[in-house]
Structure 1
Amino acid sequence: MGRLLGRIVVGLTSSLICFIAYSSQIFVIWPWYGRVVSIELLTLLVPFNLLVAMLLWNYRLCVVTDPGRVPDGWQPDTASMEGYEVKKLTGGPRYCRTCEQYKPPRSHHCKSCKRCVLRMDHHCPWVDNCVGHFNYGHFIRFLFFVDLACSYHLAMVTRRVTHAMHSRIWDVPEGVELVFIILNYVACIPVLLMVGGFSLYHFYCLLGNSTTIEGWEKDKVATLVRRGKIRDIKFPYNLGKRRNIESILGPNPWLWCWPTRTPGTGLKYQLAEGDGKWIELQRPDYKEQWYRREDDDEFV
């Protein structure tokens, strides 16, 4: 039942995207240009359709790409100097009782997917999939192209409306065209506002190399710091804005907008620079321990 509902949601989401993208062209822009193909019409519609194509491509990749699963029998290298996350109560590596296996850094168990997901960000009902290590880049690009395509769409439809308002001849939209102009505004504006706000949050997370779950955890840590229960700590995965983006979208800036495989295995992550051995730090009233470097207070 859950799987069927997820497919229905994906189908409805895809239908909404296609409705906004193509009804505006078929019932608003095409009649406005006299149903005749011209250079001016192509100049207007070709960029828009490229944005829509990239949007749909990345949306499909979000849906079908496995976000990453923990290999059977995986165990953390406790002798490595790379660091690993431990549980506060046991002092041992994080372990998932449901999956009965160890959890790599930044991984979490998803109740919807019924398994641990590598670098889990959140479970997204709109793509019927977890957003994790291997599809987070597709998810970021999907949000980016939704913002661009919706902005372009609104500018295109608004241009039609303003042209009618300032035209000296009778060119007021009516009938089917008027209905679809209204429907496109009603469908597109809420999508742009909601996805736009969501996008800003995830672009912020991308720049800080943080997941949604880690954002919640950092908020909890900040609260404990303010209450004086722990001292201030540094998030260990923040490598600097450029390297944070590269860790998700790849090292080539020219390919950041092109669907590519996320670098790495999702089983370990590069840490902020610093030397020194890892020592255990007790953190009262917090659910997990991290390790820190003795000389620079960086955590992992």
Structure 2
Amino acid sequence: MAAIELGSFAIPAVLVLIFFLAYTSQILFLYLEPRPLNTEELLIFNGLLICLLISYARACATDPGGIPKDWDTKPSDIASLEAHSGKLRGRWCRRCEAFKPPRAHHCKTCGRCIPKMDHHCPWTANCVSFTTFPHFMRFLVYAVAAMSYLMTFIWQRGAILWENRHLPSYYGPSPLKLAHLFVLVVVNTFTLFALSILLIRVVWSLAINTTTIEGWEIERHETLLRRARYLGGYLTAPDGSKVRIVRQEFPYDIGIFKNIAQGMNTWNIIAWFWPFSATPKAKDGVSFEENGFEDAAKSWPPPDPDRVLRSMPAPSIGEIRDHDEEPEEMRIQAFRQRQEEDMRRRRPFRQRIEKQIDTEQSEDDGLSDAGSASGEEGWKNSEGERLRDFGVDEDVEFYDEDDLPLSVLMKRRRAA
């Protein structure tokens, strides 16, 4: 409810900001030297504004997509998943009760799995995803271009006012117009700076084909590698097992031009900037080309001590005979207990850590350091961000396999 209220407020606020900067400035320039905007300046500036508004409208209104109903793991993939149980990690959504494709995440605001989710943007009240990213990218480009162009007009007139500051006041603009110009300078400068930083980050992510969430995962992986370097290459999981941490390359960086073409949904450079370019189809966001630097059986994100499978030792022959001699009711009860204790993948980190490892031991084993005392779900990157800050449903992201179908769990156990 809070997210909906924020979204309903944010979009009008953005539109008010755009119209204030774009159109009240053009009215003010009628009364300030050197002159009103000429025909060429008006055409260019308002052309940028039209492209900006179209791109923003499409970024807000375009469906961020979902997992196609006819999509499912192919039989060949299932065989691979059974042979490599790690590939299943992060592929099951207990909210949607379905497998999810690579790079998809469950958005807590949209209430569904979003293909190639980057983050949920409060200022568009929509997810930046496989389908909406091109519109979001064009919105940022045209916003920065329009505000940069506006800044040149503002500084031209500001420079003339400064040169004429010693003239009598009645030769200059009224105090109200001066205040209007001052507000334009402050608001446009602050907004331009913020959006320029965001645009640089988005362009960088586009060039290396990562999303904001995947950038978080890469930094998490680098942190685990640094910890493991001082602990013999292993980290201890909450159940006491040792997990080997090996560097894993990001699989979706396939070259700068290919990355940009994939993100913008076309090889046509002109179409990258055309505000009416076609929206990518959600069904195309379920699989992505990989660079082949890693074994195809490896999944992304890389293994994490907080996500390891619980060890499930096979029962001895004596234990099997003992179970066979038990009454039917006891065997059913024992089976349900094993299903609950052994087949369940894991408990929330806090429950596991409280039962199995005390705080001092967890620090000795490298399970907690600055910003990660509550496990992976509580870990923050260098900017202090958690996955929930990007709109991800953390309960699903970190515990998405707690409710895997029993048949899948049995197959994984047999494969192990």
Aligned partner (choices 24, 49, 59) of residue 62 of structure 1: 59
Aligned partner (choices 260, 263, 283) of residue 303 of structure 2: 283
Bigger strand fraction:
1
**What RMSD over aligned residues (CA atoms) do the two structures have, in Å?**
3.0
1:112-261 → structure 2 map (5 Å cutoff): 112-166=109-163, 172-228=172-228, 229=234, 230-249=245-264, 250-259=266-275, 260-261=277-278
Structure 1 runs, 4 residues or longer, greater than 6 Å off: 33-36, 86-90
Q: What stretches of structure 2 of length at least 5 have no aligned partner?
A: 229-233, 235-244, 310-416
Q: What stretches of structure 1 of length at least 5 have no aligned partner?
A: 290-300
Distance (whole Å) between structure 2 residues aligned to residue 76 and residue 46 of structure 1: 51
* Conserved? CA contact 1:67–1:130, under 8 Å: yes
In structure 1, the partner of 2:363 is none
Distance (whole Å) between structure 2 residues aligned to residue 76 and residue 288 of structure 1: 22
* Conserved? CA contact 1:247–1:263, under 8 Å: no
Bigger helix fraction:
2
* Aligned-partner SS, 1:256: helix
In structure 2, the partner of 1:17 is 18
Structure with bigger gyration radius? 2
After superposition, what is the alpha-carbon deviation per residue over 1:192-241, rounded to whole angstroms, capped at 9, x for unaligned?
11111111111110111000000000001111222334222211110111
Relative to 1, partners in 2 of residues 1:15 and 1:139: Cα closer, same or farther, differing over 3 Å? same
For residue 58 of structure 1, report the CA deviation from its aligned partner: 0.7
More displaced 10-residue stretch of structure 1: 262-271 or 117-126: 262-271
* Aligned-partner SS, 2:138: helix
Distance (whole Å) between structure 2 residues aligned to residue 59 and residue 165 of structure 1: 36
* Aligned-partner SS, 1:116: strand
Identity among equivalent pairs (%): 32
TM-score, with normalisation over the residues of structure 2? Answer: 0.61
Residue type at the aligned position of 1:268? S
Relative to 1, partners in 2 of residues 1:132 and 1:15: Cα closer, same or farther, differing over 3 Å? same
In structure 2, the partner of 1:296 is none
Distance (whole Å) between structure 2 residues aligned to residue 270 and residue 286 of structure 1: 28
TM-score, with normalisation over the residues of structure 1? Answer: 0.83
Relative to 1, partners in 2 of residues 1:198 and 1:280: Cα closer, same or farther, differing over 3 Å? closer
For residue 287 of structure 1, report the CA deviation from its aligned partner: 3.6
In structure 2, the partner of 1:298 is none
Distance (whole Å) between structure 2 residues aligned to residue 280 and residue 251 of structure 1: 29
* Aligned-partner SS, 2:285: coil
* Conserved? CA contact 2:64–2:130, under 8 Å: yes
